Amino acid sequence: MLMHKARSPSQYQEGDGMSYSEKEALKQLPQASSWPKFSGTGEYYHMELIDYIDGLFIDVPSIPDYWITARSNTAFKGHASIWYTEMKEIHGRRNWPWWKSQIIQKYSNGT
């Protein structure tokens, strides 16, 4: 007779491929539409977005990085949206520390 080991809820995956713990983390993540918006103007407005996203990793430590970076595009408007799209086309999928450094490099000097 085969014996099956009991599995914790985090080990179960449903048809969408997400584990129970991933689904719980996703529930804690605010809707991307409520994130601060950044248009590429204003001396320190990029820091509001950076601080907000950094805070998400603190508030929801189990959230996978790619969930944040995949949703971050909704925060960019106007010139910043064009820049973000071009960077994504050139560099592909990158993690949040990489995007954070690129945003700071691009927008900290007001260009």
In sequence order, what DSSP letters do the residues of the chain get, joined into one string?
--------GGG-B-TTS-BHHHHHHHHHSPPGGGSPPB-S-SSSHHHHHHHHHHHHHHHSTTS-HHHHHHHGGGGB-HHHHHHHHHHHHHH-S--HHHHHHHHHHHHTTT-
How would you write the pLDDT of the chain (111 residues) with one tens digit per residue? 444 444 444 444 445 677 777 777 777 777 878 888 999 887 768 999 999 999 988 988 888 888 888 888 899 999 999 999 999 999 999 999 999 999 999 998 754
pLDDT for the residue 108: 87
Q: Contact 83/76 with Cβ under 8 angstroms?
A: yes
